[in-house]
Structure 1
Amino acid sequence: MKKNNTYRAQNTKTHVKSQPMSIPKSIPKLIGSKLAMLLGIIIPIAALIGYSMNMNFFSIARILSAFVLIISIAAYLKEEVIYPNPKAVQHDNTLTTKKLLINKKPSKSFSFSLKKGTVQVVLSMIIIILCTYLGQVIYKSIG
């Protein structure tokens, strides 16, 4: 009979499966995917509201796009703006007091980068609004 207290050497090596390298998407592909997602949401809602209220589809799409544009600009500004003279500001998981904030230079400056998702959404909404104007002009010229 075997003893229950036999000691075995534990395997201390951790086997990590190699994951395939993900190819980073380019900025036009990221903007295009956000544009497609927003169009997939705005077009059916605008068509439904326009049909049910007997209103112009392009004006409804423009109004919906303006709402989303305002929300995305607010989200972008929330990321970027540092509120002046707070008593305590929370950065990451640490609480910074006012004394430390005065001595510390701001580490983050206002930046406009196309790598940020909110900037991509703002650009996508501007493209959609411009397309609604263009679509309305084409629609009026055809019929």
Structure 2
Amino acid sequence: MRIIIQRVSHASVTIEGNTKSAIKTGYMILLGIEERDSSEDVDWLVKKVIGLRVFDDDNGVMNRSIIDVEGDILVISQFTLFASYKKGNRPSWLRAACHDISIPLYEEFCQKLSTALGRQVGTGEFGADMKVELLNDGPVTIFMDTHNKE
């Protein structure tokens, strides 16, 4: 699994002209899933996301977590995080998991994240044409890959 976390002042996702989800201060997360991913990857990512300390404390130091600031989270499925661009100029998406694998893992990630956060996370709609708007705060953007834990 791969995620891109962006610390945001606000974010929203619109589908066919209707706002599906909107958040204020928190994280906008793009989530990519490949076929070898499992519930273990979900658990590792949820723990990292909840514990990540990238919000400023009273001294202006990034020392507070999403729980500490009572922030919101918006999760958007993003199969393009597994783009292969090695050959030619048109990316291949062969590494991205099929719907039978990715939808259950996406839903599991959102559910476990909601439980850990203590409230519902915002979501997009899997496979829909989504328009995502956000104001990246900082900017702070972090990439995580469960198969390359740095």
More helix by share: 1
**Structure-2-length-normalised TM-score:** 0.24
Larger RCO (CA under 8 A, 6+ residues apart): 2
More strand by share: 2
State the structure with more CA Rg.
1
